[in-house]
Amino acid sequence: MIDIIVQTLVSGIFTGALYGLAAVGLSLVFGVMRILNVAHGELLMVGGYVGFYLFTLYGIDPFLGLPLAAIAVFLIGMVLYKLLFSRTIKFHEELKLKNSLLIGFGLVLIFHQVGHLLFTTDERAIAPFYAGSAFEVLGTRFAYIPLGGLIVALVVVLALHLLLSKTYFGKSVRATAQDWEAASLMGINIDRTYLLSFALAAAIAAIAGPLLAASQAITPCIGLPWTMKALIVVVLAGMGRVGGAFFAGLLLGVVESVSAIFIGPYVMVVGLVMFLLIMMFRPQGLFQRR
C-alpha cells in the first residue's frame, strides 16, 4: 500500500508540474495587465502541435523542439496582443477584465475551428523511442518523459523568477503591475512591457504543449479545459502570484492523484471543489496575504 501511495504522489507531482507551467503564464498576464486571457490554453494547444509536427516531419526530439515551439507562440502572442488585447489596456480594471474575457472567448472559438480544419479531431501524441521507458528507485517508477517535464518546468519557473527579479525588464514588469501610470511617469515603456509580458506568457504556455503531447495526447479541443485547470491553480495561489502558481499546480496534481485512489473517474470534481473552497474561505489564495 505504501508503494502505491508513493507512486501516486510521484505521478501527481509530474502532472502538477504541467498544471503549474500552464498556470504561470496566465498568472503573469493577470498580475501585470489585469486581464484574464481565457484563450491561454489555446496557445498551449498550438505549442503542442508545433512540437508534434517538428517531431513527425523533421524527427526533432520533443525536448529539443521546446525552444522552437516557444519562439513560434511568442510571435503569435505578440500579434494577438498588438491586434486585440492592446485595445483594452487603458480601460479601468472592470471594463478591461470584461473586454479581455470577450476577446478571449472569441479567440477560443477561432482557434477551435482553425484547429479542426488544420489538424482534424484525431488525438495526436509524440512518441520518441524512450516513450514509456522508466527507471526504478526503491520500488517507485520514474518515467523519463514526465520526469523531463518536471525538470523543464522547474528550469522555466526559475528562469522566469530570475528574469523578473534581477533584470531591468523584470523591474519594469513589477513596477507596471503595481501602478502603470506611475511607472509611465518614471520613463517605463508601458506598451512594450505589456507586449513582452503577454508574449512571454504565451511562450511559457507553448512549452507545456509538447510536454503534454509527449506524456498524454493533444486535440484542438484541449485549450479550454487546460485554461480552466490553469485558472483553478491561479486562484489557489492567489491572482497574480507567479511563483506561487507553480507550487499550487503541484498541490493540485498531488491532490487529484491521491483522490483518484478513492473516487476514481470523479477526480475532475476535486479541482472544482478546491476552487470553491478557496473562494469561500481564502479568496486571496494560499500564497497571498490579505
The answer to whether residue 290 scores a pLDDT higher than 60 is no
Predicted TM-score (pTM) of this structure: 0.91
Over range 247-256, report the average pLDDT. Answer: 87
Beta bridge partners of 32: none
> Confidence class of residue 240 from pLDDT cuts 50, 70 and 90?
low
Q: Report whether 188 contacts 175 (CB < 8 A).
A: yes
Over range 227-251, report the average pLDDT. Answer: 83
- Nearest CA among 49, 122, 38, 27 for reference residue 80: 38
- Nearest CA among 198, 202, 203, 194 for reference residue 172: 194
Half-sphere exposure of 50 (CA within 13 A, CB side): 25
Q: Which three cell numbers stand for residue 161?
A: 523568477
Domain boundaries of the chain, sorted by first residue:
2-281
**DSSP line for 39-50:** THHHHHHHHHHH
Q: Report whether 237 contacts 248 (CB < 8 A).
A: yes
Q: Report whether 47 contacts 199 (CB < 8 A).
A: no
Angstrom distance (rounded) from CA 252 to CA 18 = 11
Q: Give the helix/strand (H/E) hosting 132.
A: none
89-93, 150-154, 202-206: segment of lowest average pLDDT: 89-93
85-89, 228-232, 266-270: segment of lowest average pLDDT: 266-270
- For 254-286, what is each residue's pLDDT tens digit? 888 888 777 777 777 777 787 788 777 777 776
Is domain 2-281 classified as CATH 3.30.450? no
> Confidence class of residue 205 from pLDDT cuts 50, 70 and 90?
very high
> Which is more confident, 276 or 83?
83
- For 125-157, what is each residue's pLDDT tens digit? 988 888 878 788 777 788 889 999 999 999 999
Q: Which three cell numbers stand for residue 126?
A: 509524440
Average pLDDT value over all residues in the chain: 87
